[in-house]
Amino acid sequence: MSGTSVVVGTIGSDAHVVGITLLEHALKEAGFEVRNLGAQTPKEAFAEAAVETDASAVLVSSLYGHAEQDCEGLHEAFAERGADPTTYIGGNLAVGQSEFEEVRRRFREMGFDGVFSADADFEDVVEALRAEFGIDESASQLARARS
Amino acid sequence: MSGTSVVVGTIGSDAHVVGITLLEHALKEAGFEVRNLGAQTPKEAFAEAAVETDASAVLVSSLYGHAEQDCEGLHEAFAERGADPTTYIGGNLAVGQSEFEEVRRRFREMGFDGVFSADADFEDVVEALRAEFGIDESASQLARARS
Amino acid sequence: MVEDRRLTDAELDRLDERVWTDAPDEARVDFEDAVAFHESLPAHKQFADVLEGADGVLTQPRAGVARLEEQIELLRTLTEEGGADLLPTTIDSYTRDNEYEKAQAGLEQSRETGESELNGFPAVNHGVEGCRSLIEAVDAPVQVRHGTPDARLLAAVTLAGGFQSFEGGPITYNLPYTSKYELAETIEYWQYVDRLCGAYTERGVRINREPFGPLTGTLVPPSIAIAICIVEGLLAATQGVRSVTLGYGQVGNIVQDVAAIRAMERLGPEYLPDAVTVTTVFHQWMGGFPRDEARASGVIALGSATAAIVEPDKIITKSPQEARGVPTAEANATGLRTTDQVLQMLAEQSIDLEGVDREQELIERSVRSLLEAVFEAGDGDVACGVVRAFERGLLDVPFPPSEAAAGDALPARDDDGRVRLLKFGDLAVDEETKEIHRARLEDRAATEDRSPSFRMVADDVSAISDGRLVGRPGDD
Amino acid sequence: MVEDRRLTDAELDRLDERVWTDAPDEARVDFEDAVAFHESLPAHKQFADVLEGADGVLTQPRAGVARLEEQIELLRTLTEEGGADLLPTTIDSYTRDNEYEKAQAGLEQSRETGESELNGFPAVNHGVEGCRSLIEAVDAPVQVRHGTPDARLLAAVTLAGGFQSFEGGPITYNLPYTSKYELAETIEYWQYVDRLCGAYTERGVRINREPFGPLTGTLVPPSIAIAICIVEGLLAATQGVRSVTLGYGQVGNIVQDVAAIRAMERLGPEYLPDAVTVTTVFHQWMGGFPRDEARASGVIALGSATAAIVEPDKIITKSPQEARGVPTAEANATGLRTTDQVLQMLAEQSIDLEGVDREQELIERSVRSLLEAVFEAGDGDVACGVVRAFERGLLDVPFPPSEAAAGDALPARDDDGRVRLLKFGDLAVDEETKEIHRARLEDRAATEDRSPSFRMVADDVSAISDGRLVGRPGDD
Ligand code: B12
Ligand code: B12
């Protein structure tokens, strides 16, 4: 299963990187190949990295409350470059205390395949990706042992 | 103004006496004559003490949540003995979080002239009694100085 | 005169017979049957074992409502949403007054309205079967918490009903809770209760007993609380109790609170017989609470931090709604979670405070001296000694509703917020100790430029509502 | 190469002229006019004086919303309902990125919807007049809190607008907040900011400056935070700043937190010129918060207790809604009241913890060594030294979004919950210190029966959400 390539990063002007730093490590431990774009990544850079690494999934993180504005046009940027990765978004997705279900709906409409609240922990993310790509745990343990 | 006699006590099965113990001292300091009936005082004992001391006011305290039941018949007991003191009740007057205005209304209907929440502090009580009996502060300071 | 002597099996049997005749509609329950019920409970519901075997501080709230189903749900919320390690069942006031008819009326009214019209669980009215359903329905050990001076029937019913821990004692559930009983009376009643616990203990069902250390909850000097708890422990041990939890209520000065629990941990095992396993419980702030929930959370967290430092075996939690009335289940769980957060964050840290030893020394000296006075007053008999010591004011508690205590001991805080005695009455402590208290309070008086007086006491009692520990003049 | 040299008056004037051209619709404000406005403010709104003259720990929240009226109301709520001693105005993210058009759009949208569509107050768009209305409308000193790497225009507008304290600095508002700036760049920008503050200071308006000590808020070793704050203090002092508040974010181990503030209190005045008045600020927990408000209150209270013990000059409070997003005014006030309750209850108590001296010693040694490395790297020039020290990894911060820091320093907690370094990269600390860190982490590894690794770090970061400080294996 080595070859399941994943891109992670925080989008827009967001500089919160603790989450993706740990996510990067957790995904690597789970056997994924990870490209971490770091903080304040423009949407185009996500699309370019997805093409370059032939990414199966792109994981966008946003903590600071402007996710919606920042992600506008992200999926179009993928399409322009002929990329069609599975896309997840996670973090703190709304200014203030609005309801998460409403937030999920909005991001689904924007094209995200998975919308995660800040309650999601690393295992949830790894689980979701495994399910997505039909990877079972033993296979990834093997990959990890080999790496 | 020496002569303004006040009776205090906790009614029914209530044993919370910290409030009335301090109230007793505050009232004495303010120049009132105070008879403290202490904890778990039956309504009849309030009425008897009112008669005995020719009390201008009777202050009933209840903290433990059964004030309503315990005070049933209290005003009748005064009437039976021909006493008609000003009556105040204070403390924690309802089990649970019910609204205080509703509680005040109920105790007013039962005949209490003043209904105080647990937010009332000693000065509020002293103030209320002074207003009731037209005592001004300097007079009571004088009384205190003399005592 | 009452004597500290173990009731014989025959006496217990006779008393038991009589006690059960007061039960509303219940026949005396077969003791063997009760023992069998206890034995049927899984290990994680065995109160004494869970408490004594735990590492870390166990959390326990207070909670009681009228109806059985509601009580079950309440307790479940407290374990599921609050992570409570030990469960309570707080008994209603009518039951505490042995007014089972009024309790019944309240229970029925509650069934009609669907709301709890009682301030606790009327265990006697629910009867043995009701209690057993409760014990079976929840997943942690459960204790009876009450405040009943004459708790004989309550004990008979709840112990037969599967409860394995019973709070209170002849002093701690008399003096703070009622004005109606002589000490000699309640000692007699509790000899029955303790003997009953002893009988279960002899059959392998170690019922845990917990003197109510916080007493009136208000400026109680540690030495008084500890001495009284030890006395109750001794009385219980005489009757065969083998698991005793000494209790103490937070006074709010961290050093004094830590010193007090340490003193209790040292003196408890020293004075109680070796056969007794002694544990300790720390009560979060037992005095008047701030009405504001944000401030109340601060008080709760401070108690939790203190407990995390000194690590008593368990902590009794409060809710942020404490000042308002009986808390909702959710608010109660809130208090538990705030407590847990602080306990866990500090759990790994070793925190040693300077000055604890000195304060502990001071507390221990007073406790010894108070206990000595009891032993002497009773010519070696603790039961008789207690009665006489309180009569003479050698032992005393502040703010007693009861006339069985002199109520001459008047506490106030010193400049550092530690509880000292402004007036000793006839309290049996030595001159040197008194001198230390006096000096500390004079320091405070100097700081505040007023003489030590009742006004200070009143200010200290109200201080917490203004967000402070020490009531300084001009604060409000 | 950037140099630590005071900008001349002519340079300041030229820079000032240029900075103002970026202002959306505002002409450069007359400096004399600005000074006059500051002078018109009453004593209780003079930030530096209030902060430096206070006894006891002052409380200050964070808070910013888009519209002026709403911001005024928010700040009033925080003083009236929260008792805040010092007020903040937190700036929105677009302004931090110097995207004043986007900020304007957000502001206008907010005016339409009546809700705040920005995560802070767009001070530049509100302009000098807007700022002055704010300062006049509230009743306490107000500080600009932001996270803006290039804060030149923001400083020009807000200082002319009557704010008297300005948070941040070339390192602390670069490395944690952005990936887009070289250190040499931000140092230059902040020389202007500091020189402007210096100019006000020379006119008697002592603008307070506060390096942002918490950095990335996550497992930041105290020595790193302190060294960086002192460096920023030195740079500010060069430009004529005379009131500096060194900052530090709670790591959660009480002894380490107390030791850190003490170390800061000792080293600050030692390294900064005598003309500078040094104060300290303690930030309540800056890392990920528990989502549950009850648990969050516990974290807030624990930070408050720590502050009460060590008594920094001020404490920055969090709200129980921290994990969810920008808090409501009420929640913010709630955090303030919980904080106040704990601070006040402990205010009178003198609490001395054992082991603080040793930890303080360890911190101080590392701070000195890090500062030495900066001085050496710059051949005595701090500005140049900072750039080189970060380039070479001699100075570093954990979890930097920026490439201007190596990010090789990897922290983890030891068995007691103190933050140590698992990997030092090229950090300028001596072998002996490294050995101590290593030994502590090996102890922990032994306790947990696993080797020290990134897994530990990840567990430590998440631990707080599970209610703990140290992330042990199998906790979740
Ligand atoms: C630490 C922190 C900072 C640090 C960041 C350091 C750094 N460079 O990383 C500093 C102090 C610099 C900072 C700055 C700011 N912050 Co900040 N910050 C936080 C804080 C306290 C913790 C974040 C964190 O590290 N959590 C720990 C990590 C492990 O959790 P996480 O990131 O949520 O990730 C987890 C999951 O969400 C998931 N996940 C994350 N991303 C993704 C993506 C995918 C696809 C998936 C599946 C899962 C996933 O994985 C992790 C598993 O547990 C939060 C509040 C909180 N959460 O308690 C505020 C918070 C995020 N910050 C906030 C704000 C407003 C800011 C500022 C704009 C203003 C300010 N206060 O200065 C600036 C923004 C700067 C910028 N340009 O981005 C707000 C956001 C408001 C909103 N969304 O409504 C918050 C919520 C605080 C608050 N209550 O106001 N912050
Ligand atoms: C200390 C305390 C105790 C002590 C009492 C010691 C003693 N003998 O006094 C102990 C531990 C023994 C105790 C026992 C019980 N308590 Co209790 N106790 C408290 C507590 C924590 C503080 C009360 C107090 O002393 N406050 C300080 C004084 C100064 O304030 P105060 O009494 O309110 O008086 C002020 C004002 O109200 C006013 N005032 C008082 N009376 C009057 C009268 C008039 C006319 C006026 C004008 C003003 C006035 O004057 C004072 C000025 O500030 C309260 C909760 C709280 N308030 O924080 C619970 C509380 C009152 N107790 C409660 C309960 C249920 C009990 C028990 C039934 C059960 C139990 N938990 O064991 C037993 C009852 C025993 C009995 N038979 O009464 C409940 C009552 C529930 C309700 N009303 O909804 C409370 C609210 C706790 C709770 N949240 O559950 N308690």
DSSP C91-145: PPHHHHTT-HHHHHHHHHHHHHHSS--SSS--HHHHHHHHHHHHHHHSSS-EEEE
Could you tell me which of C136, C132, C140 has the C-alpha nearest to residue C44? C140
Tokens standing for residue A53: 């690494």
Q: Compute, in angstroms, the gap from residue D408 CA to the centroid of ligand 2.
A: 58
Centre a 10 Å sphere on the Cβ of residue C454 and count the other Cβ atoms it contains.
Answer: 18
* Residue the block writes with tokens 């989008």: A11
Low pLDDT (below 70) residues in chain D: 475-476
Flag whether pLDDT at B103 surpasses 80. yes
* Contact between chains at D323 and A39 (C-beta distance less than 8 A): no
In a domain, C284, yes or no: yes
Q: Is A125 in the pocket of ligand 1 (CB under 6 A)?
A: yes
- Residue B135 — pLDDT band, cuts 50, 70, 90? confident
Residue-by-residue DSSP string for C234-270: HHHHHTT--EEEEEEE--S-HHHHHHHHHHHHHHHHH
Contacts of C373 (CB under 8 A, 6+ apart): C385, C389, C394, C395, C428
| Alpha carbons within 13 A on the beta-carbon side of D351 | 29
Whether B131 is covered by a domain: the verdict is yes
Position C1 pLDDT exceeds 90? no
**Which of B29, B38, B92 comes nearest C401 by C-beta?**
B38
Please state whether at least 3 CB pairs lie below 8 Å between chains A and D: yes
Distances (CA, A) of D222 to C252, D59, D419: 30, 22, 8
Reduced to 3 states (helix: H, G, I; strand: E, B; else coil), residue D221 is: coil
Q: Ligand 2, atom 86: nearest CA belongs to which residue? A: C325
B17 CA: distance to closest CA in chain C (Å): 6
Q: Output the domain CATH number for residue A89.
A: 3.40.50.280
Which residue numbers of C are catalytic? 96, 167
Identify the weakest region by mean pLDDT among B65-69, C16-20, C364-368, D238-242: B65-69
Does the CB atom of residue B95 touch ligand 2 within 6 A? yes
Query: CB-based contact (8 Å) between A1 and chain D?
Result: no
**Which tokens belong to C153?**
């029937």
Rounded distance between C-alpha atoms, residue C67 and residue C231, angstroms: 35
D97-113 residue pLDDT tens = 999 999 999 999 999 99
- Cβ–Cβ below 8 Å for C401 and B26: no
Instruction: Report the distance separating Cα A9 and Cα A42, nearest Å.
Output: 9
Whose C-alpha lies nearest to ligand 1, atom 30?
A19
Beta bridge partners of A60: A9, A89
Helices (DSSP H) in D22-170: which residue ranges? 31-40, 47-53, 68-80, 93-96, 100-113, 123-137, 152-160
Tell me if B59 CB under 6 Å of ligand 2. Answer: yes
CB–CB of C216 and B18 under 8 A?
yes
- Structure confidence by residue, pLDDT tens digits, C313-331: 999 999 999 998 889 999 9
Catalytic residues of B: 14, 16
Whether D368 sits among the annotated catalytic residues: the reply is no
Nearest to C325 among B15, B39, B95 (CB): B95
User: Which residues 104-123 of C are in CB contact (within 8 Å) with D?
Assistant: none
How far is the C-alpha of A94 from the C-alpha of D312, rounded, in Å? 34
- A84 CA to middle of ligand 1, Å? 28
C-alpha D407 – ligand 2 centre gap (Å): 56
Determine contact, residues D335/D61, Cβ cutoff 8 Å.
Answer: yes
Query: What is the distance between the alpha carbons of residues D33 and D39, in angstroms, rounded to a whole number?
Result: 10
Q: For C412, left (φ over 0), alpha (ψ -120 to 50), or beta? A: beta
Q: Report the residue of chain C nearest B93, measured CA to CA.
A: C325
The residue whose CA has the least distance to atom 53 of ligand 1 is: A121
C349–D contact, CB cutoff 8 A: yes
Domain count, chain C: 1
The mean pLDDT of C25-39, rounded to a whole number, is 95
Whole-number pLDDT of residue D188: 98
pLDDT value at A41 more than 80: yes
Q: How far apart are CA C34 and CA D333, in angstroms?
A: 53
Ligand 2 atom with the shortest distance to the CA of B116? 47
Given the CA of residue B15, which atom of ligand 2 is nearest to it? Answer: 78
In a domain, B21, yes or no: no
H helices of chain B, where?
18-29, 43-53, 67-71, 74-80, 100-109, 122-132, 137-146
Residue with tokens 């505490």: C96
Report whether residue B126 contacts ligand 2, using a CB cutoff of 6 Å.
no
pLDDT at B146 over 50: no
In CATH, what number is assigned to the domain containing residue C280?
A: 3.20.20.240
Percent of all residues in chain C with a pLDDT value above 90, rounded to a whole number: 95
Q: Residue C165's pLDDT band (boundaries 50, 70, 90)?
A: very high
Of the partner residues B21, B66, B121, the one whose CB lies closest to the CB of residue C93: B66
Atom number, ligand 2, closest to the C-alpha of residue B14: 78
Spatial separation of the C-alpha atoms in residues B124 and A8, rounded to whole Å: 63
The strand pairing partners of C283, in sequence order, are C249, C316
pLDDT for the residue numbered B3? 65
Among residues D177, D221, D186, the alpha carbon closest in space to that of D402 is found at D177
Give per-residue pLDDT as tens, A87-100: 999 998 865 556 78
Neighboring chain D residues of C340 at a CB cutoff of 8 Å: 295, 298, 467
Q: Which of D92, D177, D179 to mutate to test the interface with A (most CBs of A within 10 A)?
A: D179
pLDDT in tens, C279-305: 999 999 999 999 999 999 999 999 999
Task: Specify the pLDDT at position C430.
Answer: 96
Q: Is ligand 1 within 6 A of the CB of residue A50?
A: no
Spatial separation of the C-alpha atoms in residues D168 and C384, rounded to whole Å = 71
φ, ψ at D82 (rounded to 5°) = -115, -15
Q: Is the CB of residue C323 less than 8 Å away from at least one CB of chain D?
A: no
Q: φ and ψ at A99, to 5 degrees?
A: -70, 135
ipTM over the 0.90 cut-off: yes
- Amino acid sitting at position A131: A
Determine which helix (DSSP H) or strand (DSSP E) holds C282, and give its type and residue range.
strand C277-283
Greatest pairwise CA separation for chain B in angstroms:
45
3-state helix, strand, coil in chain A (%, to 5): 45, 20, 35
Residue A71 is predicted with a pLDDT of 95
User: Domain containing B96: what range?
Assistant: 1-13+44-59+74-147
pLDDT digits (tens, 9 = 90+) for C116-151: 989 899 999 999 999 999 999 999 999 999 999 999
Is A129 inside any structural domain? yes
Strands D419-423 and D410-413 come out as antiparallel
> Is 50 exceeded by the pLDDT of residue C392?
yes
Residue A75 has a pLDDT of 97
- φ, ψ of residue A135 to 5 degrees: the values are -95, 130
Total beta-carbon pairs less than 8 A apart between chain A and chain D: 77
In this structure, is residue B143 part of a structural domain? yes
Contacts of C among chains (3+ CB pairs under 8 A): B, D
As a whole number of angstroms, the distance between CA C234 and CA C381 comes to 10
Return the H-helix or E-strand segment holding A112: none
pLDDT of residue B1: 42
* Closest chain C CA to residue D296: C338
Instruction: Report the number of distinct structural domains present in chain B.
Output: 1
- The boundaries of the domain holding residue C167 are 9-346
Q: Which residue has the tokens 């003791």?
A: C31
Answer whether B122 contacts ligand 2 (Cβ < 6 A).
yes
Rounded to an integer, what distance in angstroms lies between the CA atom of residue D341 and that of residue C305?
14
- Cα D9 to chain centroid distance, Å, stands at 28
Which pTM was predicted? 0.95
Q: B91 - beta bridge partners?
A: B62
Contact C116 B25 (CB under 8 A): no
Residues of D in contact with C468 (CB under 8 A): 344-345, 347
